[in-house]
Amino acid sequence: QVQLEESGGGLVQPGGSLRLSCVASATIVSAFVIGWYRQVPGQPRELVAIFTNDLNTEYSDSVKGRFTISRDNAKNAVYLQMNSLKPEDTAVYFCNARYYTGSVMDFWGQGTQVTVSS
């Protein structure tokens, strides 16, 4: 089992910034996908930004140019810098890590609430 702990959520005004952090209990180097998803009540969870297994990044069209994903392998941490936040970015943000050890194993954090409101 891999535990993922998110932090950094909160209330911010439109146009503001937040930085989310996710720390894993295991090395993230061996995760073939790691990154961030978000979910609004009543809607499916959606991809925000991830690192793929070749260390390329993938972003949702709705956050391109505003959000940046980064990682620190030494700290087993993944970050999401969110700038120019909009009310529609309001959601619970989840950290996800996917490993392959003969079968795909998917791990999720408990989520952190981000609210963008004036």
- For 80-92, the pLDDT digits (tens) are 999 999 999 999 9
Is it the case that residue 105 has pLDDT exceeding 80? yes
Residue 53 pLDDT: 75
Question: For all residues of the chain together, what is the average pLDDT?
Answer: 95
- For 65-79, the pLDDT digits (tens) are 999 999 999 999 999
Is it the case that residue 54 has pLDDT exceeding 80? no
What would the DSSP string read from start to end of 41-80?
Answer: TTS--EEEEEE-TTS-EEE-TTTTTTEEEEEEGGGTEEEE
Greatest pairwise CA separation for the chain in angstroms? 48
